[in-house]
Amino acid sequence: KANRSFYYTPFPMLSPDAGSKGSFKQLDILFMALLAGQILLCVILYFLAGNGENRSDASAMNWELSNTFVLVVMALLPGAYVLSRMIYLRRRAEGALLLGLQRKIEHYRATVVIQMAVLEGVNLIALVFFFLQG
């Protein structure tokens, strides 16, 4: 009889010892969850803003530079990209020094999660600011 674990895992790809294939599957699931959250927030904000009914055609896409929200987002987006890229490159160099494939995969997974969190945070701010500008 094979040595089985004493706990039941309904989603074996999410267990900590799932191996490299499971780790990359986790990243795919996490990416899709983060994307779905952003899309859901966009839909909710759209309906809370009144489906654009209270906006005129001229103000619906009014991206004047005098608008503070636009300036903040324009500063945050490239800054977040540069920050996430710097974090990725620094952590990639740290990960190259690790021994063992499993430790490297875990380090890579954490690096990608940090990178996605930075980019998603700025994207959510951009969505909120877009709908706040009216």
In a domain, 7, yes or no: no
Residue 6 belongs to some domain of the structure: no
| Residue at 113 is within a domain | yes
Asked if residue 100 is part of any domain, the answer here is yes
- Count of domains in the chain? 1
CA nearest to 43, candidates 55, 52, 32, 33 = 52
Q: Is residue 58 part of a domain?
A: no
Give, for all 134 residues of the chain, the pLDDT tens digit.
454 544 444 444 444 555 567 778 888 888 888 889 889 988 888 888 766 555 555 454 555 555 777 778 888 889 999 999 999 999 999 988 989 888 888 888 899 999 999 999 998 888 888 777 76
Among 104, 113, 111, CA closest to 88: 111
Q: Which domain holds residue 113?
A: 12-53+65-132
Helix, coil or strand: residue 95: helix
- Domain membership of residue 59 (yes or no) is no
The number of helices, as runs of H, and strands, as runs of E, in the chain is: 4, 0
* Residue 3 is assigned to a structural domain of this protein: no
**What is the DSSP-derived secondary structure letter of residue 54?**
T
Residue 94 lies in a domain: yes
